[in-house]
Amino acid sequence: RHFSVKSTYHPGDQVTVGGRQYPSDHMTNITPHILSHMGRNLHLQQYHPLCHISDRIVKYMYGRYLTPRGSPLFSVHSQLHPVVTTQQNFDSLLIPKDHVSRKKSDNFYVNKEQLLRAHTSAHQCELMRMGLDNFLVIGDVYRRDEIDSSHYPVFHQVEGVRLLTKSDVYGKQQDMKEYELFTPEGPPTHHPHVINILKADLKDCLQGLATTLFGRDVEMRWVDAYFPFTHPSWELEVKLNDQWIEMLGCGIIQHQVLLNADVEERVGWAFGLGLERWAMKLYQIPDIRVFWSTDPGFLSQFVFDDPATNVNFKVVSKHTPCINDISFWLPSDSSYEAADFYDIVRSIGGNLVEQVYLVDQFTHPHTGRTSHCYRIVYRHMDRILTQEEVNRVHSRIEQETTTALGVTVR
Ligand code: FA5
Ligand code: MG
């Protein structure tokens, strides 16, 4: 059955996602455009830049952390299914029931209980519960985000989790009676020594990764951050073309997260990084959409067996953009969500759309109605677009927005 973007799933319809069937309901909002990205597994595709960079990250982690017998300490999980439960994606990570990150407008829900994972952190709990202490999760993640050169609704993350026992933290030679993992009074709180030791290891590990990939001279800085599942938390930013861009989030795992996974007597750190951002920095790739390109002019630049090969990426072509604006009155029932509009633009415009953003909004003083004006920048990576072609796509977007979102195009 054909379905478009909004309110086209009827209760009882089944949705097929990644080869599995799920019941749909009022929360279902996966679009055909998103479904078309599933199963591509760019991080596993031989010679793809995201595969090269993920190999380099794994190699770095293998080399940095060894068992006493000299083999890699970390295990790698790169084929976990992207449909997860709200329990995995949110609850297991202490994300409050009313937290904004759960909103339908920010996620792709399969139904009210399941969604496409919004981050690889969704797998932390199940893997720790299985008894894993040191692991990486690599996979595609899905978010109804804004659209620009560094944001795309599907991207790839690498999650790193390291759990330590008291003797891992303090070393075997210390008199450990004096050193504890948790403060003695009140609810379990990390001992300040633990925070300092883990923080030093975590930051050293991630800065080392950045200098290994980008070179000793890379400009980077740490910024304090907040995540419900780690405390304290930080983000690492790197200078790219005179701008600071966020490369990862990380922190000391909250004790309650470990308890949720039935882990006792351990402390740990975790990080989550965006593979596309690392690849854009490493290869000087200017636009996040090119990772999905099947153009041989793009892919052929990455055909080499040693992932550490240097690439000076050449943009296949940058054609002049066609810019069309769309203005409409929002429906009076305040059901309008900008994310629904972005989905429509993506679904219909596909890779013709480089960017969409709100340029103007106002409320009519007498009628009280609100109007939004968005600018859509059309530009194909590989070829010149004609104004006629753009007009056809643009008017389909106008039609679909009118029928699916109940707006009135001005
Ligand atoms: C997270 O997803 C946390 N799960 C990270 C984390 C893991 C924190 C473990 C603490 C412990 P955030 O939403 O900031 O955080 O995303 C992490 C990284 O993914 C960002 O730093 C960025 O590199 C990348 N990223 C985020 N959104 C996008 C996007 N739309 N497109 C491409 N990359 C993105
Ligand atoms: Mg962030």
Which of ligand 1's atoms lies nearest the C-alpha of 145? 30
For residues 120-158, one letter each, b for 16 or more C-beta atoms within 10 angstroms of the residue's C-beta and e for the rest, the string is bbbbbbbbbeeebbbbbbbbbbbbbebbeebebbbbbbb
Q: How far is the CA of 280 from the centre of ligand 2 (A)?
A: 17
> Which amino acids bring their CB within 6 angstroms of ligand 1?
119, 121, 143, 145, 151-152, 155, 157, 159, 227, 230, 233, 246-251, 270-274, 276-277
Q: How far is the CA of 141 from the centre of ligand 2 (A)?
A: 14
* Full strand arrangement of the beta sheet holding 408-409: 353-363, 370-378, 322-329, 408-409
Pocket test for ligand 1, best of 246, 282, 346 (most atoms within 8 A of CB): 246
Residue 286 CB neighbour total at 10 angstroms: 15
Identify the burial level of 252 via C-beta atoms within 10 angstroms of its C-beta, where 0-12 means exposed, 13-18 middle and 19 or more buried.
buried
Of 90, 94, 234, 277, best ligand 1 pocket probe by most atoms within 8 Å of the beta carbon: 277
Edge-to-edge, what's the strand order for the sheet holding 134-142?
Answer: 75-77, 134-142, 154-164, 267-274, 243-253, 230-240, 220-227
| 161: Cβ contacts below 8 Å, ≥ 6 apart | 124, 127, 128, 132, 134, 135, 136, 137, 253, 268, 269, 270
Q: What is the pLDDT of residues 177-218, one digit of tens each?
A: 568 888 888 777 888 889 999 999 999 999 999 999 999 999
Condensed to tens digits (0 to 9), the pLDDT of residues 300-322 reads 889 899 999 988 887 765 677 88
User: Residue 1: which pLDDT band, with cuts at 50, 70 and 90?
Assistant: very low
ipTM of the complex: 0.99
Distance 119 CA to ligand 1 centre (A): 7
CATH class of 32-291: alpha beta
Give the C-alpha separation, 387 to 215, whole Å.
44
**Protein residue with least CA distance to atom 5, ligand 1:** 272
Distance 121 CA to ligand 2 centre (A): 13
Query: Which residue's C-alpha comes closest to atom 22 of ligand 1?
Result: 274
Least distant ligand from the CA of 271: 1
Mean pLDDT of the residues in the chain? 91
3-class SS at 326? strand
How far is residue 208's CA from residue 192's CA, in Å, rounded to a whole number? 24
Candidates 53, 89, 121: which one to mutate for ligand 1, based on the most atoms within 8 Å of Cβ? 121
How far is 235 from 248, CA to CA, in rounded Å? Answer: 6
The CATH 3.30.930.10 portion of the chain extends over 32-291
- Distance, CA of 153 to chain centre: 8
Kindly tell me if the per-residue pLDDT of 2 is higher than 90.
no
Find the ligand nearest to 233 CA. Answer: 1
* Token couple for 100: 């904004």
pTM listed for this prediction: 0.82
Ligand approaching nearest to the C-alpha of 147: 1
Q: Hey, whose CA ends up nearest to atom 20 of ligand 1?
A: 248
Helix (H) or strand (E) holding 402: helix 387-405
Query: Which ligand is in closest contact with the Cα of 273?
Result: 1
Nearest CA to ligand 1 atom 15: 249
4: pLDDT strictly greater than 60: no
Q: Can you tell me the distance from the alpha carbon of 236 to that of 221, in angstroms, rounded to the nearest whole number?
A: 6
Angle between helices 49-64 and 275-283 in degrees, nearest 10: 100
Query: Closest Cα to atom 19, ligand 1: which residue?
Result: 274
Length of the chain (residues): 410
**How much is the average pLDDT of 42-61?**
97
Q: What angle do CA 103, 107, 111 make, to 5 degrees?
A: 90
Residue nearest to atom 32 of ligand 1 (CA): 151
Main-chain dihedrals φ then ψ at residue 221, nearest 5 degrees: -150, 150
Q: How confident is the model at residue 369 (pLDDT cuts 50, 70, 90)?
A: very high
Domain(s) of CATH 3.30.70.380: residues in the chain? 317-409
- Closest atom of ligand 1 to 273 CA is 18
Strands 109-111 and 353-363: unpaired
- Identity (one letter) of the amino acid at 158? V
CATH number of 317-409: 3.30.70.380
